[in-house]
Structures are given as structure tokens and as C-alpha cells.
Amino acid sequence: MSAPSAGGASRDGYGSALLRLASDPRVVVLEADLGKSTKSCLFREANPERTVSLGIAEQNMILVAAGMASSGKIPFASTFAIFTERGFEQVRNGVARPGLVVHLCGSHGGIHTGTDGSSAQSIEDLALYRTIPGMTVIHPCDDLSSEELTIQLLDHDKPSYTRTARNKTPRMYDEESCKKLKIGKGSKLREGSDVAIIACGVMVSEAIRAAEELSKDGIGATVVDMHTIKPLDTELIDELVRECKGIVTAEDHSVIGGLGSAVSEHVSYTGGVPIRMVGVTDRFGESGEPGELMDLMGITYRDILDSCNSLLS
Amino acid sequence: MNSADRASDMTTSQLRELALRCRRHIVKMIHAAGAGHPGGSLSAIDIIAALYGNQLRFDANNPGWEDRDRFIMSKGHASPAVYSILFEMGFITEEDMMSFRKLGSVCQGHVDMKWTNGVDFSAGSLGMGLSFGLGCALAARMDSSNRDIWVMVGDGEIQEGQFWEAAMAADFHSVGKLNLIVDRNRIQNDDFVEVQMEVGDVGAKLSSFGWDVMEIDGHDMEQVSQAIQWSSSKTDSPTAIVAHTIKGKGVSFMEDNPSFHGKAPNNGELEIALEELS
């Protein structure tokens, strides 16, 4: 087992970050029999004495993490995104309510997860955790940004949920540019004054592709990697509202409650521009290859393109 | 009170007197709030008095002292029992205690570490405390700290699956500093446990999960003290005290009465209760 080479999945970045964080003796890792999948196994291999295996028992894992956080540790607990949801009330009542700094990671988020089918494809995790007061919600788009944002959690004073993806995604950052990322601050990857595409996770590269297509027709699109869903970078959204004619959001997540909802909620107060949401409409996924599923669910660059065009027409 | 270097210094009769004072606080604060859970507070208080009176290492002037022993009240609705002992030990004032459940009070409806000095866990949702205690015990072991972790759960509470996840994990991780007390008062919110969903031979179940178990009369202060010493001395595996108790113990009309699980006494009932607890 080794850290990934170029262009891994965001879960690989999480694993690499945990390895780097191990130099801080307060850091502990908790697993629920999916360490090989979430990549916390890298930490386990190097630091077995600070890794706690809790078996297939997520509710217990979350409260064990809370107990450790109350005793001076900085726990990083992970499982599949969908199985963190089994412990949602534990996160709400046992972690966030007393303000204990536990960092929870849900890998295999979204329908991009693929052939495992709908039981493994969380399309509601971002919505759920976003409702909890004081909770930070992160969804990086590639391995390098995932590594950087996870490293930053070491000094983060609030509980957090990070969603990573199972499958590889194109790199949006290099070793240098990812260092400029900051939790809570959206990252502008491309600038244009006609439309702003705000995306997260695997949809960021789709947004870039849509922007490239739009430029062929002379339409300028700003693309933002909104890696932090909460707290939302409302300053940046206000700037986009001033500069562009409309906003399209893109996420591998239900359109109910996720990034699109968060952006819309903010703009509903400030007013300004029309918004279109690209995301999973109110339905479950199924087995299939990631690309096939993105086609089926209507979350490809073509869907972003259509939304941009309809918004500008 | 500074109990950083705890020595057993209260006699059995002093512990009984402490528990009696706490019982009076419990019924008074619930009456003042007009709501609360007297039954499970009164069933648990003898054990809690013995723990704070003679066992736990803490410093009321420094509630966050990192090597303090932890008391994790998982059955968080029995918060009046906790507030009564925290008042007796000097963590909170009488005014704090009597503001129980009022807006802005440090004494929230269910015990909450964010609000009250001396509270080590935010409870209110049942079945979570043993997991939290396991986390505290694992952290203590990593830090080579000597602190003991005590968790109290109710018998209705252990219907929650998470409790058994934690029980299994505690055995697997051999956390000898983890001490569990089951307040086996046989009544839960709606009715008797045997009516709602009987939990059966709790001691045998925990034994089969790898725990060392002692069963006691949770109101016999000598048995309670001996069980606490026994549990504290066992450091190779987790230990459980199954305390057979009477819900509402000490107030005749509350004893073994499901309707006083979560109901405040009225003025007349308070008067009778305080007479019986004098």
C-alpha cells in the first residue's frame, strides 16, 4: 500500500493527509471496517497504536471519537458517506451539540461511486450535515485539494464532515496552487463575465469542460470550486452576482439541500440573478459505470452547458 | 472540594446522609421546574453519592483538570441527580441548581457538558454514553493517564443497539479503566421494562460480552461502596455493576410507579416527599 501517484481520487488525498498529520501526537484515526476504502489504512499501517478499529458499528465510532475529542485528541473518523448517515443523530447530539472537534469523512459520495449501486451512493450527505449548527462541510474536487483541505482541519476548531469520491477525477490543482486553498473560501478556477458556474467535487472538472465549450460560442464563464459547502463563501457569491448574468450550480448530490440549495438560499436574501441547479433530481441511482450514471442522472458538462444556455437565452 | 488525591474519607452513614440531602434537592428542583424526571434520579442517587463521596478524583475549582476521573451520565434525563451532587461537591450553586430547566440556566433539562461545570458528557439521546466513555478510556490509555471512566446507563436505555456495539468494542479493546453501572430500576418512559421490551438477565448478557459483572442492591450503601471498590480495582477488563434499584426510591408514592418517570410533584406531593425524606 502506498500513497497515490498523479491524479488519484479525492479519497487518496485524504489518506495522504492523514499520514502527514501523524506527526501531531494528538491525531487519532477511527475506522469502521472500511479503512482500505476511505484510505485511512495508510495511517493505520504507519501508526497502529493511534488507530482504533471499531468494526461495522458507525454509531459507536462517532461517540468514541467524541469521547476522545473531549480528552484532548483530534479524531479523524471515516467510513462510506452513506454509512456516516447511520450515525447522523450521533453527530448532531454527541459531537456538534457539545462542540467537540471530531473530523468525520464520508468516502464514496455521490452517484459517481458507480457499480455498487444506489445503496452505496449517498446523494444527501451534504444536505444533512449542512443543517447542523457549527458544522463545517467540505467536498474537494481532486486528490491534491483533498489532501490540502484535510491538512487544514488540524487547526480547525469546529467539527467537520468531508465528502470524498471513490473514483479518480482530473486534477484541478498542482502542488503549488492547492496551497492557496482555504477552508471556507471558494476557489476561482476560470473567469468570465456572462455566467458563473459554482461546482463541487467531481462536477468541478465537468464545469471547466462546459466553460470551454461556452467559450467557443463567445460566452465567458467563471468557474468556482466551492469545496466548502458550509460555511459558504457568501462574499464570493455576492461578487459573482454583481459580475455575471446568472449562476449555475453543479453537484453530484440531490438538488434538494446541497450546494445549489445553499447558493440559492443566500441569493434569495440578496436578490440579483437567476439560478439553475444541475444535480440529482429527486431519485435514487443504480448500478453502472460513473460516466454512464452521470449521463443517466443528467449531471454531465452537457447538462451544465444546457443550463447556462437556457439561463442566458 | 478538592478531591485530586482521593482517599476514602466518608463513612457509610455519611454517604447515606449525602444521598438523603441529594434526594431532597432532586424533588425540590423538579417541583420548582414543574418538569423533570424524579423516578430515575432517585433510583440512581445512592450510587452517585458513593462515587462522588469516596471514589472520583476531581477538583471543583478546576473542573477541566485533564486527569480527573470522568463520570458520564448516559441516562441524561436523570439530570437532577447529577445537579444535586454537583451542588454538594461545590461545582454549582444552589441558585444554579434551583434554576433547573429555566431559560439560560446552567442546569439544562438533560445534562450537557457545554453548560455545566463538572458535567463530562452531553446526554439526552439514550445509548450513547458507553461509546463516549470508551473513547475517554482509549484516550487515557494512549496518554498513560491513570484516570478512571465511570458510565451510568438505565436499563430501558440498553434497548438501544449502540450500547451493545460499545459493550462489544470495550471488551475487544480490553479497556480495564472503563466502569459501567446499570441502574436496573425496571421502569422506562411508557411503562415497566418487562412490558415495553424486557432486557432480561443484563449481567449474563454483559458477561457473555466479556465483561466482569457484579450484581448488587443499588440502595444498600455498603454493597454499593464495595462494588465501586471492586470495579475500580479490576484493570484488566471492563467491569459492570448491575445495580438493582427501585424507581423513585425514598418517596413512597413515586416508588415503583411508572407515572413518576417524568412528572414533577405538585405542591402537596412535594410536602409529603420532603417529610418522607427528612
**How many contacts, defined by CB atoms under 8 Å, are there between A and B?**
103
Instruction: Report the SS3 class of residue B149.
Output: strand
For residues B109-125, average pLDDT: 97
pLDDT digits (tens, 9 = 90+) for B75-107: 999 999 999 999 999 999 999 999 999 999 999
- What pLDDT does residue B123 have? 97
Q: Does A52 touch chain B (CB under 8 A)?
A: yes
- What pLDDT does residue A93 have? 98
Complex prediction ipTM: 0.96
Separation in Å, CA of B130 to nearest CA in chain A: 9
Residue B173 corresponds to which cell in the numbers above? 479493546
DSSP states along A73-133: -EEEEEEEHHHHGGGHHIIIIIIITTT---EEEEESBSGGG-TT-GGG-BSSHHHHHHTST
- Percent of chain A topping pLDDT 70: 98
Record: fold of A10-163: Rossmann fold (3.40.50)
Instruction: Report the SS3 class of residue B214.
Output: strand
Do B66 and A99 make contact, defined as CB atoms within 8 angstroms? no
Q: Would you place residue A7 in the very low, low, confident or very high pLDDT band (cuts 50, 70, 90)?
A: confident
Check whether B4 has a pLDDT greater than 60.
no
Instruction: Report the distance separating Cα A251 and Cα A260, nearest Å.
Output: 8
Catalytic site residue A49? no
Q: How far is CA A251 from the centre of its chain?
A: 9
- What pLDDT does residue A272 have? 85
pLDDT digits (tens, 9 = 90+) for A21-62: 999 999 999 999 999 999 999 999 999 999 999 999 999 999
The residue among B181, B185, B168 whose CA lies nearest residue B230 is B181
Instruction: Report the distance separating Cα B99 and Cα B110, nearest Å.
Output: 13
Check whether A118 has a pLDDT greater than 80.
yes
Q: Would you place residue B151 in the very low, low, confident or very high pLDDT band (cuts 50, 70, 90)?
A: very high
pLDDT digits (tens, 9 = 90+) for B241-275: 999 999 999 999 999 999 999 999 999 999 999 99
For residues B106-121, average pLDDT: 97
Among A31, A45, A49, A58, the active-site one is A58
Beta strand A221-225 pairing with A187-190: antiparallel
For residues A227-238, average pLDDT: 98
- What pLDDT does residue B3 have? 56
Domain residue extents for chain A: 10-163, 184-312
Residue A129 dihedral angles phi and psi, to the nearest 5°: -70, -25
Check whether A3 has a pLDDT greater than 70.
no
Q: Would you place residue A271 in the very low, low, confident or very high pLDDT band (cuts 50, 70, 90)?
A: confident
Task: Tell me which residue in A73, A90, A93 faces B124 most closely, judged by beta carbons.
Answer: A93
Q: Which domains does chain B have, with CATH numbers?
A: 12-276 (3.40.50.970)
**DSSP class of B190:** S
CA atoms in the 13 A half-sphere facing the CB of B91: 26
Residue B77 corresponds to which cell in the numbers above? 434525563
Do A57 and B138 make contact, defined as CB atoms within 8 angstroms? no
Q: Do domains A10-163 and A184-312 have the same CATH topology?
A: yes
Instruction: Report the distance separating Cα A89 and Cα A100, nearest Å.
Output: 14
Task: Tell me which residue in A57, A67, A99 faces B132 most closely, judged by beta carbons.
Answer: A67
Class of domain A184-312: alpha beta
Q: How far apart are the first and last CA of chain A?
A: 51
DSSP states along chain B: -B-TT------HHHHHHHHHHHHHHHHHHHHHHT---HHHHHHHHHHHHHIIIII---BTT-TT-TTS-EEEESSGGGHHHHHHHHHHTTSS-HHHHHTTTSTT-SS-SS--TTTSTT-----SSTT-HHHHHHHHHHHHHHTT----EEEEEETTGGGSHHHHHHHHHHHHTT-TTEEEEEEE-SB-SSSBHHHHH----HHHHHHHTT-EEEEEETT-HHHHHHHHHHHHH--SS-EEEEEE--TTTTSTTTTT-GGGSS----HHHHHHHHHHT-
Considering only the C-alpha atoms of chain A, give the largest distance between any 2 of them, rounded to a whole number of Å.
60
Sheet containing A246-254, strands listed edge to edge, beginning at the edge strand earlier in sequence: A187-190, A221-225, A195-199, A246-254, A275-280
Asked if A173 and A196 touch (Cβ cutoff 8 Å), the reply is: no
Separation in Å, CA of A258 to nearest CA in chain B: 27
Asked if A65 and A160 touch (Cβ cutoff 8 Å), the reply is: no
Check whether A1 has a pLDDT greater than 60.
no
Q: Would you place residue A6 in the very low, low, confident or very high pLDDT band (cuts 50, 70, 90)?
A: low
Separation in Å, CA of A122 to nearest CA in chain B: 22
Instruction: Report the distance separating Cα A135 and Cα A100, nearest Å.
Output: 10
Asked if B27 and B38 touch (Cβ cutoff 8 Å), the reply is: yes
Task: Tell me which residue in B132, B137, B169 faces A66 most closely, judged by beta carbons.
Answer: B132
The residue among B39, B22, B126 whose CA lies nearest residue B82 is B22
- What pLDDT does residue A227 have? 98
Q: Which residue of A has its CA nearest to B70?
A: A71
- Percent of chain B topping pLDDT 70: 97
pLDDT digits (tens, 9 = 90+) for A62-110: 999 999 999 999 999 999 999 999 999 999 999 999 999 999 999 999 9
Q: Which residue of A has its CA nearest to B160?
A: A59
Residue A67 corresponds to which cell in the numbers above? 469521547
Q: B134 contacts in A (CB within 8 Å)?
A: 60, 63-64, 67
Q: Determine which of A27, A54, A60, A91 to mutate to test the interface with B (most B C-beta atoms within 10 Å).
A: A60
Chain B residues whose C-beta sits inside 8 Å of any chain A C-beta: 66, 112-114, 120-122, 124-125, 127-129, 131-140, 142-143, 161-162, 165-166, 168-169, 172-173
- What pLDDT does residue A2 have? 36
Instruction: Report the SS3 class of residue B24.
Output: helix
For residues B166-185, average pLDDT: 97
- What pLDDT does residue B271 have? 98
A2-41 as b/e: b if 16+ CB within 10 A? ebbeeebbbbbbbbbbbbbbbeeebbbbbbbebbebbbbb
Do A63 and B142 make contact, defined as CB atoms within 8 angstroms? no
- What pLDDT does residue B9 have? 84
- What pLDDT does residue A4 have? 39
- For A100, other C-beta atoms within 10 Å of its C-beta total 23
Do A73 and B121 make contact, defined as CB atoms within 8 angstroms? no
- For B199, other C-beta atoms within 10 Å of its C-beta total 18
Q: How far is CA B159 from the centre of its chain?
A: 18
Do B142 and A50 make contact, defined as CB atoms within 8 angstroms? yes
For residues B159-188, average pLDDT: 97
Residue A123 dihedral angles phi and psi, to the nearest 5°: -120, 15
Mean residue pLDDT across chain A: 96
Q: Determine which of A31, A50, A53, A71 to mutate to test the interface with B (most B C-beta atoms within 10 Å).
A: A71
